[in-house]
Structures are given as C-alpha cells and as structure tokens.
Structure 1
Amino acid sequence: MIKRTILPAAVIALLATVTSCYQTGKISSVPAQEVLPAASGVYYSLPLTTFVFRVETEQTLFIPGPYAAYAEKYLGFKDVGTDFMENWKITGIQFEAASVPDPARWYLLQWNTKCDLPLLYRQLVQQGLILDTPGKNNISIFHPAASGDNSLLQPAFSDVSYTDYIVEKTDTLYKTIFQDSVFVKMPVFRKHVQQKTLEEKASEAAHLIHKLRKRRFKIAAADYDILPQGEAMKAAFEELNRTEEMYLSLFVGKTISRKYSKTFLYTPSNDQPLETVLARFSPSSGWAEEKTSDALPFRLILVPQERNIPESEPETKKKKRENTITYRLPLPSEVRLFLGPDLVFQTHTSIYQIGTVIDAKVHQKMFCR
C-alpha cells in the first residue's frame, strides 16, 4: 500500500516567520482567468487528489476429466467432480493517492523582487500544497506481473492415452458361391480401423496408472537388479510422479488458477456523494458489466474529518491580493472499500479538493536564496 500524507506545518511556519532578508517587494497570486495576456510570472495550479486502486483477483477453474464417469470402476474413486466450475476472489488491494493539477485552479504568481524565484514558492511546491507543472501528473505507472500460468492457453488435457487412438479390427463376412453343383458359404475377412470407445481409453489409462505405481514401488523396494543412483533416482521418481498425476487428472479433473489485476481511478469532489459504486464483482464470473444475480457492489465510502480551518473569503479587489499567495490545505479522510456488506480495505489519506483554499498573507520581505 502506498500512502502519501501531506504535512503543511513547515510551510505554515514559513509563512509566519520572517528571517533576515534581503529585498523589499510585493508578491501576489492571481487566478489565471483574470490574467492579462501580456502578464509575466510563474503559473501554478492547486493540487487535486486522485485515488488509484489496483485490485488483484484470482480465477480458479475446475475442469472435469474426460474419464470421470469411469473413475470408480477402474480406480475406486468415488464422488469425482463431473461439472465445470469457475470461482473468483479478490486477493489484494493496492492504494495510492496521487496529486494531479486541478484544471479549475490555475494561478499566476507575480513578484517584483530581484529573486529568480521566491524561496516561499519552492517550499510550497516541495510540500505539495501547489503544483508548478500544470498538465503533469504523478500517477505511477503500474505493470502487473504476469501470472506465469499458461494452462488456460493450452488444451486442458492434451494427452488422453499412451496408446493409439484407433484400433484395427477384423470382420468376418460370408459370401455364397456355387461350387461342385452346390452353394457354399465362404468366409471373407475384412480389416478396418475404428476409433476406440471412451471406456476402452479409460481402461488403458487406468492400466498405465497401476503400472506406474507398481514400478515406483519396485524402485523404492530395490526390486530391480540395477537401480538408478543419486540424481538419476530422483529424476526417475519425479517422472513417475508427473506421469501418474497427468493421467490421474483424466479421471479426477484438473484445477487451474490464474491471477489478474484491474485498476480503478477515482477523483472525489464536493459535488459527489461520499459513497459510490466503482464496479460489481461476481464470485462466479469476476468483474461484471451489468447487475447479474450474484454480482456484489464494490463500493467506495469516504469519511472526511471536520474542517478546522475556515475557507478564505473570495477577494474581488486586486489590491487585496497583493502580498498574498493562494494554496490549498488537504482534509484528512478515511477511505473504505466494501464488497457487498464486507469491509475489504481501509486506510487514511489526505484529499486536497475537499480541503481548504487559503489566501495567505506574505510579508513584503521576500525569502530569497
């Protein structure tokens, strides 16, 4: 979890403190829409908090084996699954509160000192209370790790038999011929190839499983005249186990898991409710586009703290903006995520756009470096 907490105490102290300085001048921040085209200065914007939720999910598939109907007959396995099943669950949530420029809050900072850039402005930028690069955001690029499981891209059961899939059979037909003044039936043999039945293939697979178990037991019991040694012994057991597991899955089925990641961006505002549904999640099908019967709402609830700093009164006269700089203090808030009735994530962060915009008075003795 990534959480950014803004601590503006240093900037507030900087505004209230006057050190030995250097030049006497004026500083003001003017809303960009009120600036004359020829005006000079530095443009900046107030920060806007955007939430980034990266939700990790896991899909689990159960694929029944093609020989599931014969598991009890040939292997003695009862209650083997014969139905396809799909399950989804949320395995993790990452959170980041990113600061981006507020397009409705651009200002022009002007000053008439000999400083290239007032130290106060740089301090506000460093604290995150203003942004000096409108149009640029600091949402980190997220590259989800690959699952590494390519099972879903391949046939679930690529090897269903170790023998031929077809069998050659001979049919005996009789034809009647006239021989020595009598009719005689003569046998005619006809060979043809036909596909094995499902039960025949299941019987062969079960026979191989029993044979593998017998060979593994004989190796473990040293019942061979010549036995593999060292790494060869280990490799032999691993191959016997792998082959047995592969053919067992033809009867008992196979479970495949794969992980996914989905990113949600959400920007709170005073005009929006404190509770919103980001998406819907179904335990049987994952993220749902519509309200399916089993889809649960994935809800975001914000619990902001009470404001303890009053909002600055809007100033209409240009004179009142002299020796002031406009910045924004964030409002600490609690962020909660619910899946249906269950709380799945909770954290604390600071939200700028529901915080307080302040026109702070600045002493005429500017901080210069």
Structure 2
Amino acid sequence: MLKRIVFISSLVLASTTSFSQTRVTAGVMQGKEYGVTYTLPKTKIQLTLETNRNQYIPGEFAKYASSYLHLEGVQLEPSISWSIDKVRISSIGVPDADKVFFVRMRDKTVAPLLELTQDGIIKTINVPFGKDHSVAATPLEPSKKMPNPRDFFTEEILMANSTAKMAELVAKEIYSIRESRNSLLRGEAENTPQDGKQLKLMLDNLEEQEAALTSLFRGQTITTSQEFAVAIEPTKEFTDSIICRFSSRLGVVESDNLAGDPISVSLKDLHSVNIPADDGKKKVDGIAYNIPGKASVIVKYKDQIITQGELPITQFGGVEFLAPTLFNKKSKIQAIFDPITGGLIKVDQEDL
C-alpha cells in the first residue's frame, strides 16, 4: 500500500495548561486553521473465492479411445466447468466519513511525525519512516506445460494415410513405451542404467511421452485459477444474506443471477466491547482511535458451511482517545495503529 507522510511542524498550545499539547477536533477545518486531517477506518467484510476454470479439450483420437486403449467414458465434445478451490474471509478497512479528525498546528510546540495511508487513515505517530514489517508474497511456480504429442510421432505414424490408422499406430507406440518402462523397473532392459538419477530421468521421459500421446485419446483439461473478491459493509447483525452466487458452468455471478447457487453470509455481534450509551456529551480530546468489536462470520454454499471465523468489526466497537499530554514537548511517545481496524497496537517511549 502506498503511504503518505505528513510532518506536523507544530501543534497547538492548550490555553489551560503550562505545556504544549495536541489539540484535535472532529471534521475538516477550514479558514485560518492549519493542520492535518486524518480519518479512522470502518470495516468491510471481504469474501475471497479462489476458483478453477477447467476447460476440457477432446483428444484428436477420442472416438478411438475405447477401441485401441480400452478407455471408457471419454468425452467427445469440449466443455468448460468451474469449481471452488479455497474460500477466505477477512476484514478490510476503508475511510469512515463519520470519523474525520483535524490536528491543529501552532508555533513553539513539539513536531511529531504522522504517517497516513493513501486513503488518509492514521497509521503511526513519531515512528521513523521506512520501518516496513510486511511479508513479501512467495511467487507461485508456473505449472509445467504438457509437450506437443506430435513431437513423439514416429515416421510410420506420420506416414499413415487415415486418422484411424494413425490412431492405431499411436496406440501401439503407447504400449511400446509401457513395455520399455516396465523393463527398466524390472532391470530387464539391455541398457538399464546403474545410476539411480539416470534411471529416474529415463522413467520420467517415458512417462512424459506416454502422457502426451495418451492425451490424444483421453483429451486434456486446462485449468486456470481465478480469484474473485466480494465485499460487504455490515451495519448490524444479519443471517444468510446472499452476497453472490456460484455456477459450475459460469463461475461467480451476481447475487440476483439465478443461474448459480447462492453463497450466503451470516454475521453475529459477539459483544466483545462494552460500549456505554452515547449521550452526545463525549468530547474530542486527543488522538482518536478505534476499539473494534468482534463478530462471528459464517459462509455457506448450497446450505453447507464452507468457511467460518471471527473478525474484528469497528462498527461493533467504539472510539477512544490518547491523552493530549502524551504528545507534549517533554515526551517522545510513539504510537502504532492498525490501518485496517484503526485500533491502537502499541504505545512506546523508545524507538520501535
């Protein structure tokens, strides 16, 4: 995520104290006021579906699969099908328009460093820029592509004058490859290598040739992984709310597309945070941060639970404030916030 660093050269002096301290107000200030605006996040629940698109391509000799290789049930027509591989649920943070705060600046005050996300969500205070503790994703290894079966055609196969004859000769070549592999495994081949690595290499090559030639009868399925993400913003508890649908023919479709079976989400507030009733008298005093609540999330497909867990939900929590005196000119307080929940992770006087 891109980051935006904002240096506050000075913070406002509190008129009722003898030292410099932070003053924060709600909303974006205009006119003669100078300072920095930051926001706290609200939670969206993101459902991520890792799916596979399976494209079946019939083999060139598919109609001879039963006659020459005794392969039954081989499809003769191309088809496309979808399947769900993995399902994940997570919380994501987006700026909350109802939680915007303004830090005023004046001369002769401490100059803390505020780090904001690209969306303006507060991330750190007084933490030196450049400390990135994120973990790099491990790149996926590309799947090995099957070689072209025609690369293994003999001259006799290439000279065949009909498809049926060609299929017959390819089938004979497949049986010959199997015999060669069995001879190597039993140590009966004339040139059986004594070195284990060399033997494995020869067996792998024979297996590759057999798989490629057999695909001309059995056909092959090309699988492509695709990831879909659907996000919802909870404001209250709900049960079996349909957020999308899944079709074995079409993949992920909209929630109103009846071609797919529904994927539903249930959300239950765990009441992990005791929030007093808001009487409207609570004042903005210091740096605001969220105290996120927790919710139980259950995802179902075809009335079966496919994933579940507990997630932090800021809408089920409340807002508190770091005391203004923590950021007066005599302190070296550092604070780290979770940009996803807006929760306070750490407060320290030492370098983090």
Q: Secondary structure of 1:72's partner?
A: helix
Q: In the alignment, does 2:120 pair up with 1:136? A: yes
Distance 1:332 1:117, change over 3 A: farther
C-alpha RMSD over aligned residues: 4.3
TM normalised by structure 2 equals 0.65
Counterpart of 1:14 in structure 2 is none
Contact map agreement 1:64 1:81 (CA 8 A) in 2: yes
Q: In the alignment, does 2:249 pair up with 1:284? A: yes
Contact map agreement 2:27 2:101 (CA 8 A) in 1: yes
Letter in 2 for 1:30: T
Please state how far the C-alpha of 1:247 moved relative to its aligned partner.
Answer: 1.6
Please state how far the C-alpha of 1:205 moved relative to its aligned partner.
Answer: 0.8
Q: In the alignment, does 2:96 pair up with 1:102? A: yes
Contact map agreement 1:61 1:255 (CA 8 A) in 2: yes
Which residues of structure 2 form unaligned runs of 5+? 1-16, 124-133, 332-352
Counterpart of 2:266 in structure 1 is 301
Q: In the alignment, does 2:189 pair up with 1:236? A: no
Contact map agreement 1:275 1:300 (CA 8 A) in 2: yes
Deviation readout 1:154-191 (Å, 9 max, x if unpaired): 89865595347775xxxxxxxxxxxxxxxxxxxxxxxx
Counterpart of 1:267 in structure 2 is 233
Q: Secondary structure of 1:90's partner?
A: strand
Q: Tell which structure's C-alpha radius of gyration is larger.
A: 1
Matches within 5 A, 1:92-241: 92-109=86-103, 116=110, 135-136=119-120, 145-146=139-140, 148-149=142-143, 151=145, 161-163=153-155, 196-219=161-184, 226-230=191-195, 231-241=197-207
Distance 1:210 1:143, change over 3 A: same
Please state how far the C-alpha of 1:259 moved relative to its aligned partner.
Answer: 2.5
Counterpart Cα distance in 2 of 1:296 and 1:352: 31
Q: Which of residues 253, 260, 280 is equivalent to 2:219?
A: 253
Contact map agreement 2:294 2:316 (CA 8 A) in 1: no
Contact map agreement 1:296 1:339 (CA 8 A) in 2: yes
Distance 1:200 1:98, change over 3 A: same
Contact map agreement 2:88 2:307 (CA 8 A) in 1: no
Counterpart Cα distance in 2 of 1:228 and 1:337: 55
Q: Secondary structure of 2:212's partner?
A: helix
Counterpart of 1:331 in structure 2 is 293
Which residues of structure 1 form unaligned runs of 5+? 1-21, 126-130, 168-194
Letter in 2 for 1:210: Y
Matches within 5 A, 1:66-77: 66-77=60-71
Please state how far the C-alpha of 1:142 moved relative to its aligned partner.
Answer: 9.3
Contact map agreement 2:158 2:166 (CA 8 A) in 1: no
Counterpart of 1:191 in structure 2 is none
Q: Which of residues 40, 46, 61 is equivalent to 2:40?
A: 46
Contact map agreement 2:299 2:308 (CA 8 A) in 1: yes
- By relative contact order (CA 8 Å, sep 6+), the higher-ranking structure is 1
Q: In the alignment, does 2:24 pair up with 1:29? A: yes
Letter in 1 for 2:100: W
Counterpart Cα distance in 1 of 2:324 and 2:138: 49
Counterpart of 2:348 in structure 1 is none
Counterpart Cα distance in 2 of 1:26 and 1:224: 87
How many residues end up aligned between the 2 structures?
Answer: 301
Q: In the alignment, does 2:312 pair up with 1:350? A: yes
Counterpart of 2:83 in structure 1 is 89
Distance 1:160 1:197, change over 3 A: farther
Distance 1:42 1:254, change over 3 A: closer
Please state how far the C-alpha of 1:49 moved relative to its aligned partner.
Answer: 2.1
Of 140-149 and 250-259, the range deviating more from structure 2: 140-149
Contact map agreement 1:165 1:196 (CA 8 A) in 2: no
Counterpart Cα distance in 2 of 1:76 and 1:215: 20
Letter in 2 for 1:196: N
Q: Secondary structure of 1:45's partner?
A: strand
Q: Secondary structure of 1:66's partner?
A: coil
TM normalised by structure 1 equals 0.63
Counterpart of 1:65 in structure 2 is 59
Q: Secondary structure of 1:38's partner?
A: coil
The percentage of aligned residue pairs carrying the same residue is 22
Letter in 2 for 1:93: V
Distance 1:202 1:263, change over 3 A: same
Distance 1:291 1:44, change over 3 A: closer
